Amino acid sequence: MGFPRRRQPEWLGVRKEVPSRRRAVLVVLSFVLPLALWSTVSYVPFVWHPLVRIETPASVSYFQRGMLVDRDVFASENRSAAAEGRERAQGVRANPIYLPAPHEVVRALYMAFKTPPRLPSEPWLHESLWHSIQVIFWGFLLSSLLGVPLGILCGAFPFFSKLFEPFLEFFRYLPAPAFGALCVAILGIYDAPKIAIIFIGTFFQQVLVVGNTTRKLDPSLLEAAQTLGANRRQLLFKVIVPGIVVDLYTDMRVLLGWAWTYLIVAELVGTTSGITYFINQQARYRNYQNVFAAIAIIGLIGLCSDVALAYVGRRLFPWHAERGGTSLLTLLGRCFRPRKAEPRRTTQPA
């Protein structure tokens, strides 16, 4: 008799964990598939390419080399030229200027840090990025200093929950950019109103998320502590806070990404500054490859910061078993980790 075949795990098992190597493959595909779609639209002429880039204007008077025109216009002018016996224009199919190819964005990503700004008063890209990071830092820090303690109180004590959460539920539906003019009137036109927009966009969600996380604490832990004679202060600082600290850390990672989504709107308030200023200036100069590069930089900063925070979290809370997912860095590491040899199975004689 042969050994029973080992059953391969399913790719689409309901609530079943995908093996680490397959998870790593899926993580890579999550980046490769959008890039492949972008490359297809950019490099395959018959997929889209609604315009024609003029290479030889020939007899068409207003055509210029490098000019982009609609395909219908290009075909119409060539038909007119052919009917009148004139030389026909030559061109290749192209995408609009606002959709650069991937290699153009990669080149712009490199050149943007080396190319000086057009005007002496304009900041370099790295200066714009640093300014934006400072706005995010202070807005999120102020929100966390107030939102985390208030969220814990709302989750631990129904008194605070009924006192604050109804208003917070109402206020969180108000768009943060709507307070832009009011923030400028109160705080001026420089960085203070931008930090205020980050604060408004994050604080109210933060209190509710932290309160919900606090309420998920196992009630048996509180009952056991009360049985041992713990008072209200001890329950809060020795049971509730240590019991939710890991989930609270995960919530802060998610909320930090939430704060980044308000950056562009916040930097438009008052005087335009930071990475938003760079994006607007490059769009004004029609350098859309630089616009895409700046957007990619924001995503890379967010992704790298989240991976770094996940790494720090594993060092701060080594006892915490991973639940519901694995970080990008861990998955890629497991992808290339050699498998351990499994012990051979033996059958018992009948």
DSSP characters over 171-217: HTTS-GGGGHHHHHHHH-SSHHHHHHHHHHHHHHHHHHHHHHHHHTS
- Flag whether 186 is in a domain: yes
Q: Are residues 90 and 227 in the same domain?
A: no
Which of 60, 94, 128 is the last residue before a domain boundary? 94
CA 149 to chain centre: 26
**Contact (CB, 8 A) for 54 and 63:** yes
Distances (CA, A) of 16 to 11, 13, 323: 9, 5, 12
Q: Are residues 199 and 282 in the same domain?
A: yes
In the structure encoding, which two tokens stand for residue 221, read together? 């832990």
Q: Are residues 291 and 235 in the same domain?
A: yes
- Flag whether 76 is in a domain: yes
User: What is the number of other CB atoms lying within 10 angstroms of the CB of residue 97?
Assistant: 13
- Flag whether 65 is in a domain: yes
pTM of the predicted protein model: 0.79
Nearest partner of 165 among 152, 179, 178, judged by Cα: 152
- Flag whether 300 is in a domain: yes
**CA atoms within a 13 Å half-sphere pointing along the CA-CB vector of 117:** 15
Q: Are residues 70 and 131 in the same domain?
A: no
Predicted local distance difference test score (pLDDT) of residue 286: 87
- Flag whether 1 is in a domain: no
Helix (H, G, I), strand (E, B) or coil at 3: coil
Q: Are residues 132 and 235 in the same domain?
A: yes
In this structure, what DSSP letter does residue 90 have?
Answer: E
Q: Are residues 211 and 243 in the same domain?
A: yes
Predicted local distance difference test score (pLDDT) of residue 350: 46
State which amino acid sits at residue 315.
R
Domain limits for position 209: 112-320
Q: Are residues 66 and 161 in the same domain?
A: no
Q: Are residues 193 and 148 in the same domain?
A: yes
Q: Are residues 63 and 121 in the same domain?
A: no
Predicted local distance difference test score (pLDDT) of residue 348: 52
Helices (H), the chain: 20-43, 71-83, 102-111, 125-156, 158-171, 180-187, 191-215, 219-227, 232-234, 241-261, 263-267, 274-284, 288-316, 328-335
- Flag whether 30 is in a domain: no
155-173: burial string, b at 16+ Cβ within 10 Å, e else: bbeeebbeebbeebeeebe
CB < 8 Å & 24+ apart, contacts of 234-243: 235/156, 236/152, 236/156, 240/152, 240/155, 240/156, 240/214, 241/152, 243/217, 243/218
- Flag whether 140 is in a domain: yes
- Flag whether 18 is in a domain: no
Q: Are residues 132 and 65 in the same domain?
A: no
Total count of domains within the chain: 2
Q: Are residues 273 and 234 in the same domain?
A: yes
Predicted local distance difference test score (pLDDT) of residue 22: 82
Whichever domain contains 250, its CATH number is: 1.10.3720.10
Predicted local distance difference test score (pLDDT) of residue 4: 59
| CB-count exposure of residue 206 (10 Å: 0-12, 13-18, 19+) | buried
Give residue for tokens 């919900």.
Answer: 212
Which of 94, 128, 158 is the last residue before a domain boundary? 94
**Contact (CB, 8 A) for 131 and 88:** no
Predicted local distance difference test score (pLDDT) of residue 281: 85
Which of 94, 125, 159 is the last residue before a domain boundary? 94
Q: Are residues 223 and 287 in the same domain?
A: yes
Q: With a cut of 50, which residues of the chain have pLDDT below it?
A: 323-325, 331-332, 335-336, 341-342, 345, 350
Give residue for tokens 């012990």.
Answer: 343
